[in-house]
């Protein structure tokens, strides 16, 4: 049985923690769709197309193996995307109890709406403290974000836009 998993997120920008979750999902499932979604509760730094491009570059530059598709979705509920592509699993990285409290109700609703299960992956401890919002803040104040993001992202954020 060919199993498709979806790794969703705003990825604004993608971090090494995100890449870690994508790599591990790719080692578990036959096919992984990395789906950039718009989060209306967050103010975006990068346009969605740029985020997709940076994830694709990070995957190409890294050690991610397996069938991986990077795309975006803004046509409704994330589970609608899952149903459309035949995915039965969402994979979410969680760093703390705060993430668990936020993600659990969504996982239950997604299962109720479309029978899509959610699997939580704990981060590599080296990345457990890193979030996209922290990276945006450090970059915005001129700090070095290279230890926290893929090379493509560090280069993009360091370049005069």
Domain CATH for 39 = 3.40.50.620
Tokens 């703390």 belong to which residue? 96
Q: Would you state the pLDDT for residue 161? A: 58
Query: Catalytic amino acids?
Result: 18, 42, 95, 132
Q: Region 13-40: what's the mean pLDDT?
A: 94
Percent of the chain, pLDDT > 70?
A: 98
> Cα–Cα distance between 76 and 55 in angstroms, integer?
22
Residue pLDDT, tens place only, 94-143: 999 999 999 999 999 999 999 999 999 998 999 999 999 999 999 999 99
Domain count, the chain: 1
Range name among 44-48, 82-86, 108-112 with the lowest pLDDT average: 44-48
Q: List residues bridging with 66 in a β-sheet.
A: none
Q: pTM for the whole thing?
A: 0.94
Cβ(81)–Cβ(73) below 8 Å: yes
Domain that holds residue 122: 4-158
Q: Would you state the pLDDT for residue 62? A: 72
Q: Three-class SS of residue 69?
A: strand
Cβ(49)–Cβ(71) below 8 Å: no
Q: Which long-range contacts (CB under 8 A, 24 or more apart) does 48-53 make?
A: 48/72, 48/74, 50/156, 51/10, 51/11, 51/12, 51/13, 51/14
> Cα–Cα distance between 9 and 118 in angstroms, integer?
13
Residue pLDDT, tens place only, 139-159: 999 999 999 999 999 999 988
Write down the mean pLDDT value for the chain: 93
Give the CA-trace dihedral at 152, 153, 157, 158, to 10 degrees: -40
For residue 38, pLDDT beyond 90 = no
Nearest 5°: the CA angle 103, 107, 112 is 150
């Amino acid at each position: 049985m060919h199993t498709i998993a979806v790794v969703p997120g705003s990825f604004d920008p993608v971090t090494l923690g995100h890449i870690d979750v994508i790599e591990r999902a790719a080692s578990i499932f036959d096919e992984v769709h990395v789906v950039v979604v718009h989060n209306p509760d967050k103010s975006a730094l990068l346009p969605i197309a740029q985020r997709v491009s940076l994830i694709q570059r990070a995957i190409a530059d890294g050690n991610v193996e397996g069938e991986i598709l990077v795309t975006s979705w803004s046509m409704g509920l994330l589970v609608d995307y899952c149903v459309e592509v035949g995915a039965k699993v969402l994979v979410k990285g969680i760093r703390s109890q705060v993430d668990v409290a936020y993600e659990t109700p969504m996982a239950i609703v997604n299962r109720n709406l479309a029978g899509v299960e959610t699997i939580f992956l704990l981060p590599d401890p080296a990345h457990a403290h890193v979030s996209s919002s922290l990276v945006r803040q450090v970059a915005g104040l001129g700090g070095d974000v290279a230890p926290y993001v893929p090379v493509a992202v560090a280069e993009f954020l360091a370049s005069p836009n």
